[in-house]
Amino acid sequence: MAEGRSSIVITVFSTTSGIGKTFVATNLAAGLAKDGNAVCLIDLDLQYGDVANYLKLQDAPTIADIPPTVPPHKVQNYIGEYRHGNVSFAVLPAPYRVEQSYTLDERRIISIINHLDKFNFIIVDTKAEFNDMNMAVMDISTIINFLCVADFVPAIKNLKSGYEAILRFGYDVNKVRPVLNRSDSQTLIDPDDVEVVLGKKFYHKISNDFKGASNSIRAGCPLILTDTNSRLKRDLYDLVGLYTNRKRKSESSGGGGIVSFFKKIWSR
Ligand SMILES: Nc1ncnc2c1ncn2[C@@H]1O[C@H](COP(=O)(O)OP(=O)(O)O)[C@@H](O)[C@H]1O
Ligand SMILES: [Mg+2]
């Protein structure tokens, strides 16, 4: 954990785009906030980020709107908010204009994240790429939520090479959590076989529900905060529970021991 930072940073990363990172990141932020945590959601897909669209926050100040002269410890005053009923969380959307992405570098972003100390959780949405920004944020992350889909062969190839790269780069195997999205989509590829290819069990599986996911995105409301009672919503909320110890996962299920992992982090 970075010096001076007490927040848990969860980065949602994948090696293929369009597989649900933003959907999962917005729901993680919403679910953690619903459970009473102070949460900040940051969109680091700096050119084509969708967080503002998925939350219908098109007027919120973006990460590029923070004047560079503002010291990192004062950035909290520049962050907008998403609110639904009595649940709210802070949001730093990606810039609205692609060229603004060039005004941001990883040192500034990491310094900002390290100073967001009023939040229990910082959720970072990313672009599917090993770039300097993503690597820097993965370095300081408590957990890398490595999102996977197993519904087409190139995606499996990418997730295997991406997972191997993450481990090659020296990240703790307990920090990298492969999560299978759209786990029960109509496909001939068995998730068990993907686990064999990956050499690791999925930490969690999220079911496939195109209608449920797209309706919530169209409404601008994370599925977790809607009145729907669907399996997808339960799967997402269970993932939140794994990160708050509301729901425990045993070592044998591939979780890598969330309880002992957090004990280790807090005791540092
Ligand atoms: N579990 C799911 N079931 C069905 N559709 C999903 C699921 N998760 C995400 N989607 C859909 O996949 C599409 C891409 O999701 P998105 O979060 O934008 O991907 P990424 O951020 O990885 O590019 C969206 O249309 C979303 O509705
Ligand atoms: Mg996205």
Residue with tokens 């770039």: 131
Residue 198: its H or E element:
helix 191-198
Helices and strands counted in the chain (H then E): 9, 8
Closest Cα to atom 11 of ligand 1: 20
Q: Which amino acid is at 267?
A: S
Ligand 1 pocket test target in 12, 17, 23 with most atoms within 8 Å of CB? 23
pLDDT score of 246 more than 80? no
| Residue-wise pLDDT tens digits, 79-118 | 999 999 999 999 999 999 999 999 899 999 999 999 998 9
Ligand 1 pocket test target in 19, 48, 151 with most atoms within 8 Å of CB? 19
CA of 268 to the centre of ligand 1 (A): 36
Q: Which ligand is nearest to the CA of 24?
A: 1
pLDDT score of 253 more than 50? no
CA nearest to 11, candidates 178, 179, 123, 148: 123
* Atom number in ligand 1 closest to CA 54: 18
pLDDT score of 258 more than 60? no
* pLDDT band, residue 72 (cuts 50/70/90): confident
The length of the chain in residues reads: 268
* Rounded CA separation 248/244 (Å): 9
CA of 204 to the centre of ligand 2 (A): 20
CA of 70 to the centre of ligand 1 (A): 35
* Rounded CA separation 205/240 (Å): 12
| Residue-wise pLDDT tens digits, 137-189 | 999 999 999 999 988 788 788 889 999 999 999 999 999 999 999 988 767 78
- DSSP class of residue 65 equals G
Single pTM value for the model? 0.91
pLDDT score of 11 more than 50? yes
Give whole-number Cα distances, 3 to 41, 70, 105, 110, in Å: 21, 20, 20, 12
Residue-level pLDDT at 249: 55
- DSSP class of residue 45 equals -
| DSSP strands (E only) in the chain | 8-13, 39-43, 80-84, 87-92, 121-125, 143-148, 176-180, 204-205
What structural domains and CATH numbers belong to the chain?
8-266 (3.40.50.300)
pLDDT score of 191 more than 90? no
Residue-level pLDDT at 8: 96
How big is the chain by its Cα radius of gyration, in Å?
Answer: 17
Q: How big is the CA angle at 222 (ends 108 and 118), to the nearest 5 degrees? A: 40
- DSSP class of residue 96 equals S
